[in-house]
Structure 1
Amino acid sequence: MESVIDKLSEIETAASRIMESAVEETRRQDNAAEERTSTYDNDTDAQAARTLEAAKRTLQEQADQELEHLKTSTERSLRHMDAYYKEHKDALCDKIYHKIIRM
């Protein structure tokens, strides 16, 4: 009877060690999973930041090009209007004068 109790005690001790080992292994796997998740999150955040920065640069370049185009177009229009005014100022003044008189 005593040998049966000793065997049951040994089995219980072995089972406790197995359970402790399983708990420890679970803890290690949880920590490893957390670390992988953290690494993935950091990598994803860094990639998103790089993508966002590239998009910002592209948009800024497009805006700069559009601004340059508008400046060129505006300067050309102003030169054209100035040349037209210099060439036709007498006729324009006469039209304005006659409109004012008719009122």
Structure 2
Amino acid sequence: MDVVIDKISEIESAATSIMEHANEQKKAFANEMDERTAAFDAQLEQETEKEIEKLRAGMEIKMNQRLKKQRDELQEILKAMEKNFEVHHTQYAEELFNNMIKE
């Protein structure tokens, strides 16, 4: 009977040892997965920042091109208005004067 109890005790001790080893491996695996997850998150964040910066730079270039185009168009309009005024300023003054004395 003592032999059976000793064997059961040995089996129980071995089972406990196996369970402890399994728990240690489980913790090590969990730590490894946490590290991998953190590394993946960091890499993803870095790549996302690069893409956002690329998009931002592209949008800034487009915006500056639009602004330049609008400035150029505005300059053309102002030149046309000044030319029109130079050609017709006497006529405008006469019309304004006539409108003022009619009232």
TM range, smaller chain: over 0.9
Runs of 4+ in 1 over 2 A off after TM superposition: none
C-alpha RMSD of the superposition: 0.9
Task: Report what 1:88 is aligned to.
Answer: 88
Query: How far apart, in 2, do the equivalents of 1:26 and 1:99 lie?
Result: 96
Query: How far apart, in 1, do the equivalents of 2:5 and 2:14 lie?
Result: 14
Structure 1: state its 5+ residue gaps. none
The aligned runs of 1:15-30 (5 Å cut-off) are 15-30=15-30
Query: How far apart, in 1, do the equivalents of 2:53 and 2:45 lie?
Result: 12
Note the C-alpha offset of 1:50.
0.9
TM-score normalised to structure 1 length: 0.94
Residues 33-54 of structure 1: per-residue CA shift (max 9 Å, x gap): 1011101111111111111101
The aligned runs of 1:11-50 (5 Å cut-off) are 11-50=11-50
What amino acid does structure 2 have at the position aligned with 1:19?
Answer: M
Task: Report what 2:4 is aligned to.
Answer: 4
Note the C-alpha offset of 1:102.
2.5
Task: Report what 1:62 is aligned to.
Answer: 62
What amino acid does structure 1 have at the position aligned with 2:5?
Answer: I
Note the C-alpha offset of 1:7.
0.5
